[in-house]
Structure 1
């Protein structure tokens, strides 16, 4: 019950800050991870701590490549890892899968709302329409327009809610 309360508070806090400011703060995530490790040590000893660390590691691993490719922010990666520390690896895997589906739906919604769906589809399929020219230069901005990004923390929060109620 205690760990569920911490999980709920973490999820709601990260959801609110990601929607409002497009930030997920370390000063929210780090205490949640420390509480998770301490709680699991107290209630289950070293085996539970290892399970918690496996959840944390899996959460980091699942979103590390998308982060390194510039697809999501570091806060999103750490948010999934913190959930993993609280709830364990099996929970985090379901959260990741449900969050990916929710993220796809959110992305389509944002693209339709910002009238960029057709542009994005054309950009995605352009290499297939002009042949196999891998040396085509695309214009990329160093600053990302916030209106063209999705708050992926919301997708993670939705995925974690689905994982919580499915279990």
Structure 2
């Protein structure tokens, strides 16, 4: 049952994030509540602890990137909802897959935006020669040259990877 709710929430969040770059509270908050209630009804106090810890881990994983302006609050709430629904280890593995997928997407977008030659040149000067801050490659303050994408896509894909393959 919880997998059906998870899949429904993921599909809706993927669509809304792609269309409007928003992950809606009307999806994440009821998913959090459902996860808590479902886990309590099926496992009692242990279910409450599973759901509560999962919620907190999901929230904690993305709160710093959110506070630094790297992502929206909807992304954080979606990860917290995944944790509340599926538990601590599931949300942790989802985050690992999400980070890997998000990194690949970001790298491809940087290469597409800056061109392969400029990206390699920038990487060489910034990393190999320590000429500049590595963050300037990814987190540019100039809005025109910065690369961004709806991170909910990576969260959905990472969570689906966890559903299919589980942990490591």
Q: Is the 8 A contact 1:32 1:86 kept in 2?
A: yes
Q: Is the 8 A contact 1:114 1:147 kept in 2?
A: no
Name 1:135's counterpart in structure 2. Answer: none
Runs (4+) off by over 4 Å: 144-147
TM-score norm. by structure 1 comes to 0.84
Question: 1:119, CA displacement in angstroms?
Answer: 5.7
Q: Deviations over 1:1-41 (max 9, x none)?
A: x1110000011111111111111111110011111111111
| Distance in 2 (alpha carbons) for counterparts of 1:53 and 1:146 | 40
Q: Does residue 122 of structure 1 match 2:122?
A: yes
| Distance in 2 (alpha carbons) for counterparts of 1:120 and 1:86 | 41
TM-score norm. by structure 2 comes to 0.83
| Distance in 2 (alpha carbons) for counterparts of 1:145 and 1:78 | 28
Name 1:140's counterpart in structure 2. Answer: 141
| Distance in 1 (alpha carbons) for counterparts of 2:93 and 2:103 | 16
Q: Is the 8 A contact 1:40 1:49 kept in 2?
A: yes
Moved more, 93-102 or 64-73: 64-73
5 Å-filtered alignment, 1:22-61, equals: 22-61=21-60
Q: Secondary structure at the residue paired with 2:12?
A: helix
| Distance in 2 (alpha carbons) for counterparts of 1:158 and 1:145 | 27
Name 2:98's counterpart in structure 1. Answer: 99
Name 2:137's counterpart in structure 1. Answer: none
| Distance in 1 (alpha carbons) for counterparts of 2:23 and 2:4 | 19
Cα distance change on mapping 1:111 and 1:45 into 2, 3 Å: same
Q: Deviations over 1:89-114 (max 9, x none)?
A: 00011000000000001101222332
| Distance in 2 (alpha carbons) for counterparts of 1:109 and 1:164 | 25
| Distance in 1 (alpha carbons) for counterparts of 2:34 and 2:57 | 18
Q: Is the 8 A contact 2:57 2:83 kept in 1?
A: yes
How many equivalent residue pairs? Answer: 157
Q: Does residue 7 of structure 1 match 2:6?
A: yes
Question: 1:140, CA displacement in angstroms?
Answer: 3.0
Question: 1:115, CA displacement in angstroms?
Answer: 3.0
| Distance in 1 (alpha carbons) for counterparts of 2:33 and 2:108 | 36
Question: 1:69, CA displacement in angstroms?
Answer: 1.3
